[in-house]
Chains A and B, each alone.
Chain A
Amino acid sequence: MTAEQLYENLKKTQEPKGFFFNKDRKQVLGILGGLITNRERYGYMSCPCRLASGTREQDRDIICPCAYRDEDIAQYGSCYCGLYVTQDWNDEKTPHVYVPERRPA
C-alpha cells in the first residue's frame, strides 16, 4: 500500500469522526510513509514520531491512531505527530503549537 492509498482509506473513516488530516499534504504523506515503514518493520502501524519497542503489547498505546490522539486534539487541535487535526486547526482558528508528549515516560 502506498501513502496515497492509505491517505484515501483513512480519510474515509476518520473525517466523519471529526479527525481531519493536516492540510499540509506533503507532511501528511511523509507521516503516512512512516506508518507504512513501521508496519513493515513491526507488523503494526506504530506512531512514526515515537520509538517503538517492536513488541505489540508494549506499543499498543502508540499504534496509530494512538491512545493520546483524542486528548491532544481536544487540547491542542492536533495530535502529537501533526497528522490528525481539527477543522479549526486547518482553518488557523486554533494556534499551531508544538504538542508535548503525553505518553508517560
Chain B
Amino acid sequence: MSYTVRMYTLSTCSHCKNAKRFMDQHRIQYNFTDVDLLTGDARTIIMDEVRKYNPKCTFPTILVGEKVIIGFNESALRGVLELE
C-alpha cells in the first residue's frame, strides 16, 4: 500500500515519542513537525493545519493518506497501515 504519513507532534510528549518509535519499529517512513519547537508565525501556520484535521489540537495528530488518527492509537494505526 502506498501512503504518506505525516505527524504533528510535541518534542516532550510521551504519546508522540511512542508514535515515532512505532513507525521506526515498523520501518514506516514519515515526516513530522514538533510543534512546540516552533514560534511565532511558523507555529500559527502549523496549528491552523492541525486544527483542520483535529479541532481539539491534541498531539500526536497523525495523517495516513486521507485518514486522521488522533493520539497514539496503536490498533487504529495498525489498521490503516495494514500491519499484520
Interface residues in chain A, defined as those with a beta carbon under 8 Å from any beta carbon in chain B: 27, 30-31, 33-35, 37-38, 48-52, 81-83, 98, 100-101, 105
Contact = CB atoms under 8 A, between A and B. Distances in A.
A26 to B, nearest CB: 10
Contacts of B58: 50, 101
Contacts of A100: 71
Dominant secondary structure at the B interface = loop
A48 B55 contact: no
Given A51-B36, A98-B73, A81 B14 contact: yes
Interface of B: 10-17, 35-36, 47, 55-59, 71-73
Contacts of A49: 10, 12-16, 59
B39 to A, nearest CB: 9
B14 A30 contact: yes
A52 B36 contact: yes
A41 to B, nearest CB: 8
B10 A48 contact: yes
Contacts of A51: 10, 35-36, 47, 57, 59
